[in-house]
Structure 1
């Protein structure tokens, strides 16, 4: 029976459904739930119900013309055909259970050369986003880095790290992921532990990042310069990427190779250039040489590299050049969101 399949899929998504065989007598039982699933065998009994968002018509026969007529009659947002749409339906039900409001804006940071300061910029961007009051999650995608939790001064914070998620497959609950991670300076951090190196398979990166960005807010990802399978999965989920390039000719040459590899996966890649500059170079020349839009110039800030070692995370000083750059970046990127 179709009802049996729907109950099974609700259980897989962690939902406890209310079952009605016709439109409920109490109006709230129809209008209040975040999602209403209507089987095609019950659609005729739902004619005349109050129109509302979140109604899905579920059937088995895509060639049945009555199925699509019923969808129009009950105001269904979409029609799902089982068994092909089972995975999508489980995701939709789970989103409703979690109360997902929409996907987070996801920004990746990658260095044009080694030591460019990508991890520093990623941490500062996350801190700046958290200062705006948005839900913020920082993901350390570079297994060979020193650990973003260390850079933020949160290496002793309780919570799960990447080795705990290395075996993840399929759907990971966004709320459960967020609550399990260390909370450091107003944001959640997914970093590495200090144990042996752990390989994160591409499917684990896909599942975890999908969960991280399933809820509203901001996700910042610190990316490795080596584009392996896991990094490719991370790039595929970004809304935009920032390529951090020091103002040196050799750095520009190295960044060109990185940009070429990243551009095969990510359409929106922008250059962030930092000084000091070699003679004859400036931020516009470097962005043009890379054939990338310029996201901005990161001002030179003496002592920035040692900030983390002294217990002060990068960008913690809201008056510093790095913090001001990050605040201005979010103002520009999040402006369409505010307008909407």
Structure 2
């Protein structure tokens, strides 16, 4: 755990508050002699000006990973002392709160992973089945061994935990989650939120509640970025009418999947949705859902909407009944699972070419 060696009590209180916010336990010592046993081996050391003076006087063993923290701008003489003592970073509170939280969070989580991906899912028209598809993608990601995070961004959707049959599972929902923004640890989220085992992976679910507020834009950013840093596949269920929360997800998503029923009117509605996203989303694609009343091909729907075809799927037999009974889960080898797998492949591929798709029946 990080070592905090400080004599200024107001500064120490601030540092402890920020450490608690990212779920980081710290060891506290009032001076260098009291910290001698941990000084060399702690992953990170934070000191105040009084300890800096000891370090500059040569009474502190030299090591990497020492940061000076000050309340307000550091005095001019601190800079020379910091250089002499080998201090690597100087941070002023409150201006550098986010930087200090990030430093402490890295101790908890380790270095940021480059494997995290973000998928946003929304309907091309009302009732398109976007929430069902978002849940299916998250479940399939976990089934194939990934760590997945499913984030409900639609406070009027009834709660995605209800769709999963997990409404009675312990853990926090958005109204109870005390995340206002900044940096949050994925480790802390995993401990606080409902978690499901799916195949060889795990699925963490952050659902809206049946009552109370939904997420804020700042809290969604904090949660999504925590998942990405931890290397999770983050799937966000978005409302069609994007608000500030939805646009924050769009700005961070590697792929936006628009779920479109294979109908002419749904295609026209989806065109409006896509036009609002174009120029802001990095990559857009359509998931075309059957049945197709007029045998409209999935490729024709995607072409009309003006995006690549990510997947086409026929109706999943008895899916509605299973959802109503709290038994959600894409049937292995079924159309919903195959479409979810196609979108996961598109999310992870680097070429940008669409995956092979199944035709809507």
Normalising by structure 1, we get a TM-score of 0.75
User: Does the CA contact (< 8 Å) of 2:123 and 2:258 recur in 1?
Assistant: yes
- The alpha-carbon deviation at position 119 of structure 1 amounts to 1.0
Q: Deviations over 1:192-235 (max 9, x none)?
A: 333x3535433333344444444222221111111122222333
Task: State the SS of the aligned residue for 2:149.
Answer: strand
Q: Deviations over 1:173-209 (max 9, x none)?
A: 4322221112234422221333x35354333333444
* Counterpart residue number, 1:242: 257
- The alpha-carbon deviation at position 163 of structure 1 amounts to 1.5
Which of 95, 101, 124 does residue 105 from structure 2 map onto? 95
CA 56–260 in structure 1, closer or farther in 2 if over 3 Å, else same: farther
* Counterpart residue number, 1:294: 309
* Counterpart residue number, 1:189: 205
- The alpha-carbon deviation at position 3 of structure 1 amounts to 8.4
* Counterpart residue number, 1:284: 299
2:343 aligned with 1:329: yes
5+ long unaligned stretches in structure 2: 1-5, 351-361
User: Does the CA contact (< 8 Å) of 1:178 and 1:188 recur in 2?
Assistant: yes
Task: State the SS of the aligned residue for 1:127.
Answer: helix
Which of 11, 17, 21 does residue 16 from structure 2 map onto? 11
5+ long unaligned stretches in structure 1: none
CA 219–70 in structure 1, closer or farther in 2 if over 3 Å, else same: same
User: Does the CA contact (< 8 Å) of 2:258 and 2:284 recur in 1?
Assistant: yes
Task: State the SS of the aligned residue for 1:82.
Answer: strand
CA 29–80 in structure 1, closer or farther in 2 if over 3 Å, else same: closer
* Counterpart residue number, 1:86: 96
Rounded Cα–Cα distance in structure 2 between residues aligned with 1:126 and 1:185 = 12
Rounded Cα–Cα distance in structure 1 between residues aligned with 2:284 and 2:108 = 31
Task: Map 1:52-67 onto structure 2 (within 5 A).
Answer: none
| Greater CA drift, 210-219 or 113-122 | 210-219
- The alpha-carbon deviation at position 244 of structure 1 amounts to 1.0
- The alpha-carbon deviation at position 245 of structure 1 amounts to 1.2
Rounded Cα–Cα distance in structure 2 between residues aligned with 1:180 and 1:86 = 27
Rounded Cα–Cα distance in structure 1 between residues aligned with 2:188 and 2:36 = 35
Which of 151, 170, 184 does residue 181 from structure 2 map onto? 170
CA 123–97 in structure 1, closer or farther in 2 if over 3 Å, else same: same
CA 96–70 in structure 1, closer or farther in 2 if over 3 Å, else same: same
Task: State the SS of the aligned residue for 2:112.
Answer: coil
- The alpha-carbon deviation at position 58 of structure 1 amounts to 7.6
CA 136–3 in structure 1, closer or farther in 2 if over 3 Å, else same: farther
Calculate the aligned-residue CA RMSD, in Å. 4.0
2:235 aligned with 1:220: yes
Rounded Cα–Cα distance in structure 1 between residues aligned with 2:281 and 2:43 = 33
2:131 aligned with 1:119: yes
Rounded Cα–Cα distance in structure 1 between residues aligned with 2:276 and 2:109 = 36
Q: Deviations over 1:260-305 (max 9, x none)?
A: 2334643222222223336474333332333323322234333333
Task: State the SS of the aligned residue for 1:284.
Answer: helix
Which of 223, 230, 242 does residue 245 from structure 2 map onto? 230
Rounded Cα–Cα distance in structure 2 between residues aligned with 1:182 and 1:219 = 15
